[in-house]
Amino acid sequence: MSVDYVLMKGNEAIAEAALRAGCRFYAGYPITPQSEILEYMSVHMAKRGGVFIQGENEIASMSMLFGAAACGARCMSSSSGPGFDLKQEEISYLSAAGLPAVLVNAMRYGLGDGEITAGQDSYWVSTRGGGHGDKRLLVLAPASVQECADLTYLAFDLAEKYRNVVEILSDGAICQMIEKCVLPEPREHDMNKFDWALTGKPREARKNKAYNLSYYMGYEAYDRYMREKIESMFENEQRWEEFMLEDAELVLVAYGISSRACRSAVRQARRDGMKLGLIRPISVWPFPRRAFAGVPDSVRGYVSVEMSITTQMGEDIQLATEFSKPLYAYLTSKEIPTVEGIIAYCQEILAGNIKPTEVL
């Protein structure tokens, strides 16, 4: 049988898909569980004619990324938890200058150093964060190795289309697991194709600038541009998957590794006569509010399934549903949700033994 797939870790699929999307600059600093991205880039970037730099830390790496992005190169950095925190300032600067870049955040558990094992600690920092100021990151959350490749490949196009930072929000399970993956076609990127990028010093060269757009656009035009951009991303970039929503009594909402256990739980529950469904956000910003418009009247409540201490996605579910149904949160912290655990929790909800989540 011919082999059209590869077996790869999620991290490797992200790195290879980035190279195939024409990424020719990577700067970053190691941290578990995403270090294979760095490792892969260190081996393969030079072979594709690009530049790999392990910076002295995350902050320096991000400043290097700013330079590459300002010159029109497709560029990427990656980190996790506390390392990703260090990138926040530069995300704001990239956003201020309207520079496209792709970042990867492989989530762990907890605060501070937390644990190096899988978690979903960074929903808030990803969907609300990106440093100070008014901007939005486009945030895509893969739930398989295939999606690690596909969404990374897509991320570079979206970053350029909106001149925006795009984040791949993976987790310590998705990025470490090996599955079959069909890689996208390699493409070359022309870093000189933009009318906004820095071009160097020749007298006839365009004199573009790489600092706050507001300084040369004027504040009024800049504010309008940012509002329209954010609205356009919100309108056009909601992505999600629905699974067995018809006649569902409870709808699970989960992304990344949690959604994998949820899919199995929905199947198992329906075999046992309990009607569960699943909405899996693929974009977590913009949160796929449209997915919730189509849920059937049979739905009695939503269950956010997350590997976190407190629900982070819950408030987005409540906004999407306009607080119309009770919200429950099945939170497994640093344990991967299990099919048995999800089903037992849903049985307790339907039996009236669990109170809706009020703290968001």
Partner 1 sequence: MADIIMAGFGGQGVLTAGKILIDVAAREGKNVSWTSSYGAEMRGGTASCSVVISDEEIGSPYPTKLDILLAMNEPSYDKFIGSMRDGGLVIVNTSLVAKSGYPDNVRVYGVDATDMANAAGNGRAANLVMLGAMIKASGLLDVDRFGAGLDAYFDAKGKNTPKNAECYRLGATSLREL
Place of tokens 């995403």: 34
Q: Which residues contact 231 (CB under 8 A, 6 or more apart)?
A: none
State which residue, 146 or 308, has the beta carbon closest to partner 1: 146
Among 188, 231, 340, 348, binds partner 1 (CB under 8 A): 340
x/- track of binding to partner 1 for residues 108-127 (CB under 8 A)? -------xxx----------
Look at the chain and count its residues.
360
Beta-sheet strand order (sheet of 240-243): 240-243, 276-281, 250-253, 301-306, 327-331
Q: Can you give 280-346 as a three-state secondary structure string?
A: EECEEECCCHHHHHHCCCCCCEEEEEECCCCCCCHHHHHHHHCCCCCEEEEECCCCCCCHHHHHHHH
Q: Contact between 263 and partner 1 (CB under 8 A)?
A: yes
| Number of residues engaging partner 1 in binding (CB under 8 A) | 26
Among 15, 165, 173, 250, binds partner 1 (CB under 8 A): 173
Pick the stretch among 87-95, 132-140, 204-212, 259-267 that binds partner 1 (CB under 8 A). Answer: 259-267
Preceding peptide of 286 cis, ω within 30°: yes
Among 51, 198, 217, 339, binds partner 1 (CB under 8 A): 339
State which residue, 2 or 353, has the beta carbon closest to partner 1: 2
Q: Contact between 241 and partner 1 (CB under 8 A)?
A: no
State which residue, 109 or 123, has the beta carbon closest to partner 1: 109
For the chain, the straight-line distance linking the first and the last C-alpha, in angstroms and rounded, comes to: 51
Q: Contact between 35 and partner 1 (CB under 8 A)?
A: no
Structure tokens belonging to residue 189: 């990127």
Among 336, 347, 350, 360, binds partner 1 (CB under 8 A): 336
Preceding peptide of 142 cis, ω within 30°: no
Q: Residues in the site for partner 1, rule: CB under 8 A?
A: 1, 3, 5, 7, 32-33, 115-117, 173, 176-180, 260-261, 263-265, 267, 336-340
